[in-house]
Structure 1
Amino acid sequence: MDLILWRHAEAEEFAAGDLARALTTRGRKQAQIVAKWLRTRLPADAVVLASPAVRTIQTAETLSDQYRVVRELAPNASAADVLDAAGWPKGIAQTVVIVGHQPTLGHVAAQLLGDSSASWPLKKAGVWWIASRERDSGEQAVLRAAITPDLV
């Protein structure tokens, strides 16, 4: 399976609550740039899962109107929550896009790629594209792409 970890784009600092924080004008542009890059590479049957936070929903909407909000992906979710939602390593679909938050996405990447409990930094609107594959020694995670809006 392909697991795409996409951090929400830049959001406003203050709102009625953390889940209510919306994207800034800059954040909308960041999300649109990365969504355009993703759209040309994603299969039509990719599944998009978003945290219930407004900023992640707005980020997901720049990619597709076909996404699911998963409350287990809310801020401060665990790496296990993300991997369970995606069905890693076999997948709930061949390609799953998770639109979520730091430090959670950094925990997922560190766990899969570095066998570490650390949280690796991921810029706002950044993407890590990780593929699972089977080898003689079992399941492996392979980094296929790492991109930020300023590199697209």
Structure 2
Amino acid sequence: MNKTEMKTAILDAKQTKGLTWDAIAKAVGLSKEFTCSACLGMNSLNQTQAEACAESLGLGPDVAAALQAFPHKTWDQTVPTDPLIYRFYEIVGVYGETIKALIHEEFGDGIMSAIDYSMDIQRQPDPKGDRVVVTLNGKFLPYKSW
């Protein structure tokens, strides 16, 4: 089973069982954000985590094996057309240089890791309409001279 077939099987089982990403993540023992990413094929799980994930969804060892396979982090579109995902591209397009300038001013010349990284997505109630709070937390990696 490849990652695309795995993703389809997981999404079908999730819908059939009426599970949330949070419930699946609790069974796996990881955050909902990382668990969702692995289930969508963009990260991998270790054997124990993969088996717990597959079991929580009522899926077999073929899904558990696919969850353990290292992903090819690729996507079909250069700029996505899904409005929610596109907004993140828009944010980086409008604020990317600002983010870079502020990180460099605070930390120096380097990057934020997407490997030593975590993400948290929360709902913040607001009388004018609930807010989406996305926290991206990556280790600073300075560029080296040699």
**Fold-level match, TM-score > 0.5?**
no
The structure carrying a bigger helix percent of its residues is 2
Which structure would you say has the larger RCO, counting Cα contacts within 8 Å and 6 or more residues apart?
Answer: 1
The normalised TM-score by structure 1 is: 0.30
TM-score norm. by structure 2 comes to: 0.31
